[in-house]
Structure 1
Amino acid sequence: MKKFLVLLVLFALPIIAYMFFASGQNNFAKLPVLTPEVKDVSKFESLDGEPISLEDKISIVAFFGKDLDNLKGNTFNLDQKILEKYYEFKDFQFVVVLPQEAREEAEKFKEEFSGISETEKWEFIFGTSAQVEEVFESFNTPHQLNNTYTPYVFIVDKDLNLRGRDEDEDFGKVYGYDSRSVAELSDKMNDDVKVILAEYRLALKKNNAERKNN
């Protein structure tokens, strides 16, 4: 009986993982690149002093400005509907790009939410308003940054490409996802994060298989 259960688990887990990622609308198709080679954030300062980069990570990038209320509401929505599902992936990160003036509020916010979320997985980075604007402008989206704030969050791949949708049934092109909309996060963004994670997992398996054959 024990052997049967072990075999069942060994066979069932890959199938469950496959079904989880396959539930994405694009079913393992690559998530389109909308803007290649966005600007990295390696010159920004982080809360703990450690350098943060978008390169070699799948990143959810947010620009939440100086208003603590925006930071709280938008981040909480993201954490509940997107982030908590994917924290286990070591190459996945949540990066909040903020002006230097927001450092104290960000520290308080992270401490306040540490009891109800995995805030150690959140990366808050700080630069001048001009630096924040420069990174945002490199994304080349139709969205506007209002005093270093936008409610839209973005998916950036390991090669610094902005990913999104180029033929969405509601919006046409989707460069970013409105963090104020629980429905949009649960539906469109969750689906797209599944797709890009599946894409990289399949690429990793392929590379490993090729190494074994060589």
Structure 2
Amino acid sequence: MKKTFVLTVLFVLPIVVYLFFASGVTNFGKLPTLTENIADLPSSDSDISLKGKITILGFLGKDIELKKGNAFNLNQKIYKRFYEFQDFQFLMVVPKGTEEKVLELKKELGGLADVRKWNFVYAGENEIHMFFKGLRTNLSLDESLSTPYVFIIDKDGNLRGRTNDEDEGTKYGFNATSVADLNNKMEDDVKIILAEYRMALKKNISNRDK
């Protein structure tokens, strides 16, 4: 009996482990594109752009002091894990007139991490509404031009997300008020898109070397 059990463990377990990781690799393949060719950012005096960067995009609104909890959650759970990757950035769209509040927020965040990849774009109310509408999600901005949801935008300006999320079906964004959403879903999806670009880069290098 013991001999049969040992043989089963030796021969069956490796197959089970292989199938588990094989399915994981398949699921790790590519993050679905939900909206293609998002227009670049509202008018800005800076050279910040969605193009050429993997971007975590958010809308903090007028009352930034009330959204600090969201920013700190994102900073701790997502930004600090990934900001050292090349071509990765955080980008928050905020109304004009919030410059001093943004400086205060960046100062507080700077006590916890290197904030050089926390970027802010200032725009008018209509510009922000039009830009958000261009994401073509099932979400909306509140009266202060904010939403707790943040979005993953790829280097080509496409919105990435989930098409078969167990809770939401099509998942356009991640709720920054929910540590569980950031830990259990967003972190995984950022890993997937970073891995996608790393694999593409390795493939290009391999092709050039042939």
Counterpart in the other structure of 1:174: 171
The correspondence of residues 92-107 of structure 1 with structure 2, limited to 5 A, is 92-107=88-103
Counterpart in the other structure of 2:39: 39
Counterpart in the other structure of 2:75: 79
* Greater Cα radius of gyration, structure 1 or 2: 2
1:208 to 186, 200, 205: 205
Separation in structure 2 between the aligned mates of residue 114 and residue 177 of structure 1, nearest angstrom: 23
Separation in structure 2 between the aligned mates of residue 63 and residue 40 of structure 1, nearest angstrom: 15
Alpha-carbon displacement from aligned partner over 1:102-131 (angstroms, at most 9, x marks no partner): 111001211233122222220011011111
Separation in structure 1 between the aligned mates of residue 78 and residue 31 of structure 2, nearest angstrom: 17
Counterpart in the other structure of 2:139: 143
Amino acid at match of 2:159: L
Tell me the SS of whatever aligns to 1:82.
helix
Shift of 1:27: 4.0
Shift of 1:69: 2.9
The aligned length equals 188
Runs of 4+ in 1 over 6 A off after TM superposition: none
Q: Is the 8 A contact 1:42 1:53 kept in 2?
A: no
Q: Is the 8 A contact 1:26 1:195 kept in 2?
A: no
Counterpart in the other structure of 2:151: 154
Shift of 1:197: 0.4
Separation in structure 2 between the aligned mates of residue 177 and residue 68 of structure 1, nearest angstrom: 18
Shift of 1:167: 0.5
Separation in structure 2 between the aligned mates of residue 171 and residue 25 of structure 1, nearest angstrom: 23
Tell me the SS of whatever aligns to 1:51.
coil
Aligned-residue sequence identity (percent) comes to: 48
Alpha-carbon displacement from aligned partner over 1:165-211 (angstroms, at most 9, x marks no partner): 00111110100000000000001100100000000000000011111
Alpha-carbon displacement from aligned partner over 1:115-148 (angstroms, at most 9, x marks no partner): 2222222001101111111111100001011131
Counterpart in the other structure of 2:114: 118
Shift of 1:68: 2.3
Separation in structure 1 between the aligned mates of residue 177 and residue 66 of structure 2, nearest angstrom: 9
Structure 1: 5+ residue stretches without partners: 1-21
2:185 to 183, 188, 194: 188
